[in-house]
Structure 1
Amino acid sequence: MTTKTNQGNYFEDFRIGQQLVHATPRTVTEGDVALYTALYGPRFVVQSSAVAAMDIGFEDAPVDDLLVFHVAFGKTVPDVSLNAVANLGYADGRFGVPVYAGDTIRTVSEVIGLKENSNGKTGVVYVRSRAVNQRDEMVVDYVRWVMVNKKDHSKPAPETVVPDLPAVVAPESLRLPVGLNLEGYDFAGAGSSFCWEDYAVGEKIDHVDGMTIEEAEHMMATRLYQNTAKVHFNQFEQAKGRFGKRLIYGGHVISLARALSFNGLENAFKVVAINAGSHCNPTFAGDTIHAWTEVLGTYEIHERHDLGALRLRTVATKDKPCADFPYKDADGKYDPQVVLDFDYTVLMPRRAV
């Protein structure tokens, strides 16, 4: 039987500098936005209300930044992580121009790092992925690294190249939407009066609520993003694997944690950077996700008196409420119930003076 289908790349198929042009471009629709809201329930006012968004300079209610990230990510899966063991982390991520319903997203990736694991059966692939809209304007650009199976274990290891990645996206490189002006920001509609000035470095916010992941939800989510990774879809294959069942896509947990963070961060209306991120332990259907956030930094935006930026670390756990428990042990190892450690930067309105 002949095979014309894409079998995906294995670790030995990647090389430094390789350019991967991903199929297929994806037009984001209002239906995608509605389904994303149904899956996670985000309540941030700028994405929920076209009126509130236009009052501060957007053309319409922008597509949620993480939905943009997931669509861009999903495009990369057939070429980067179809044969992955696990997605490991993120760094140096920036969001560009806003995406609106009707915009078309396409993604290209470059291989920037390779490191074979000591078992000789897998290796870590580092890629920088850049997604643009139909006008070739950048909508999101980020690095991720993923553990990928080798097909032929006898293949010699490539020269190890591990990229030097920044610990944080520099505040001066953050991209603000053109025309953004928060003088008309709707605090009452947003549900909180807390401004940028009300948050302090070291402060921790327990988001209190929990959300249980249902099997059907994560399957629908990965289909929404056209994420075809076998570890999320194929129970027949995963029954023979390490865990005996399908893994939840890590981005699903990121979106749940971001939605939960509304409690206490109601006015964090836009994600502008992904500084770092780790999927610390696997998540499965039936797990209940809780989250808390630590403020890592407060940044003034040059010559802007209407908004500032917060660097945040959101930690998500499964089946364990987050209030005041040590998420790492003395050796720096994550508690088994910690599933996400996500470091990102958001915009927030400042108090009117």
Structure 2
Amino acid sequence: MSKTNPGFFFEDYTLGQVIDHAIPRTLSGGERAMYHALYPSRHALYSSDEFARACGLHASPLDDLIAFHTVFGKTVPDISLNAIANLGYAEGRFHLPVWPGDTLHARSKVIGLKQNSNGKSGVVYVRTEGLNQHGSLVLDYVRWVMVRKRDMEAPAPDTVIPDLATHVAPEALLIPEGLDFSHYDTALTGEPHRCPAYQIGEIIDHIDGVTLSEAEHMMATRLWQNTAKVHFDATFRDDGQRLIYGGHIISLARTLSFNGLANAQMIAGINGGAHANPAFAGDTVKAWSEVLDKADTSAPGVGALRLRLVATKGSPAAGALKDADGRYLPEVLLDLDYWVLMPV
């Protein structure tokens, strides 16, 4: 009997199945330093303990996407080791900040299954929860993944596609305890623009770009302990290329958005998202954002801004997303709809 883990194939999943993912991870300032070196993130709340204390927190938390990538990485051996592609996200909420010293683990529940018409693969929908050492929920989200079949003759399961919300309602966003932007100092953040300065429908071209390298994306993927074969093994794809981890693109785009959204401090929710096209080493990533909505929160001085963050390769016009038939343009890498917390 083999002692190695071949990973789950599509026919191994059942509706309602709960998977407790292995290898909990204790996070430290090392992850922050590596994250800021890789991308590099510059939001003040995640860079300065003193700034965070002035905003009502006891210290600077770890970047929200550090928590997201850590939890995501825990799920890969059970959810996407044999994935063809990670297709999308929905209903994501950040429940609690993550601090250096916290230990995160993850569990997922299968909430949908659909075999593809070619009979060689299928789409698995899971709701994943990330929990800390106290058993408290740190974040949760839904994602769906296209996974290979092992046995082409295995019968297709009944098709169940979950009914997912189009977005997280602003009143359902969770504000970290104590967060207070009443005395927020824009002189320390790099830009003066607060929530009221942004208009619904406004397009922000973030201008800057980053050319992807094999070294950085491999380091990032290993940092989050993501073991998906398509990111490491060049023989796993017919084109002989290693696919860039989609989370790497999310973090690059979020960092690029600093230029124009420096005060969009905390990610509070992920409404939806799609990795529209694959990315490979040598591609140059740029980004633009569209303001979708604004909302008040119960926290003093804190507003919520709903943004569409789009990462592209090359330099298509800011605002360009889909063709006349509704298909993503080939230059579009990421389409992410999310909520951020920023001062009013």
Shorter-chain-normalised TM-score: which range?
A: over 0.9
Identity %: 58
Q: What is the SS of the residue equivalent to 1:9?
A: coil
Tell whether the 8 Å contact from 1:290 to 1:322 is kept in structure 2 after alignment.
no
Give 2:311's match in structure 1, choosing from 310, 316, 333: 316
For residues 108-166 of structure 1, the C-alpha deviation after alignment (integer angstroms, 9 at most, x for no partner) is 00000000000000000000000011111111100000000000000010000000000
TM-score, normalised by the number of residues in structure 1: 0.96
Residues 1:346 and 2:340 are matched in the alignment: yes
Tell whether the 8 Å contact from 2:203 to 2:318 is kept in structure 1 after alignment.
no
Moved more, 142-151 or 54-63: 54-63
Q: Which amino acid in 2 is paired with 1:332?
A: G
How far apart, in 2, do the equivalents of 1:90 and 1:181 lie?
29
How far apart, in 2, do the equivalents of 1:305 and 1:189 lie?
19
Q: Which residue does 1:234 correspond to in 2?
A: 233
Q: Which residue does 2:186 correspond to in 1?
A: 187
Q: Which amino acid in 2 is paired with 1:347?
A: L
For residues 276-307 of structure 1, the C-alpha deviation after alignment (integer angstroms, 9 at most, x for no partner) is 000000000111100000000011114x4511
Q: What is the SS of the residue equivalent to 1:33?
A: helix
State the 1:243 CA deviation: 2.9
User: What does residue range 1-353 of structure 1 map to in structure 2 within 5 Å?
Assistant: 2-235=1-234, 237-238=235-236, 241-302=237-298, 304-323=299-318, 326-350=320-344
Tell whether the 8 Å contact from 2:123 to 2:147 is kept in structure 1 after alignment.
yes
Structure 2: tracts of 5 or more residues without a match: none
How far apart, in 1, do the equivalents of 2:267 and 2:138 lie?
12
How far apart, in 2, do the equivalents of 1:160 and 1:140 lie?
27
Moved more, 184-193 or 64-73: 184-193
For residues 166-194 of structure 1, the C-alpha deviation after alignment (integer angstroms, 9 at most, x for no partner) is 01001111000001111222211101111
Tell whether the 8 Å contact from 2:257 to 2:289 is kept in structure 1 after alignment.
yes
Q: Could you say what the CA RMSD is over the residues aligned between the two structures, in angstroms? A: 1.0
Tell whether the 8 Å contact from 1:316 to 1:338 is kept in structure 2 after alignment.
yes
Tell whether the 8 Å contact from 2:180 to 2:300 is kept in structure 1 after alignment.
no
How far apart, in 2, do the equivalents of 1:59 and 1:78 lie?
35
Tell whether the 8 Å contact from 2:203 to 2:290 is kept in structure 1 after alignment.
yes
Aligned residues between the structures? 344
How far apart, in 2, do the equivalents of 1:50 and 1:301 lie?
23
Q: Which amino acid in 2 is paired with 1:147?
A: M
Structure 1: tracts of 5 or more residues without a match: none
For residues 232-279 of structure 1, the C-alpha deviation after alignment (integer angstroms, 9 at most, x for no partner) is 0112x22xx233211000010000000000000010000000000000
Q: Which amino acid in 2 is paired with 1:274?
A: I
How far apart, in 2, do the equivalents of 1:129 and 1:248 lie?
22
How far apart, in 1, do the equivalents of 2:57 and 2:185 lie?
14
How far apart, in 1, do the equivalents of 2:317 and 2:264 lie?
20
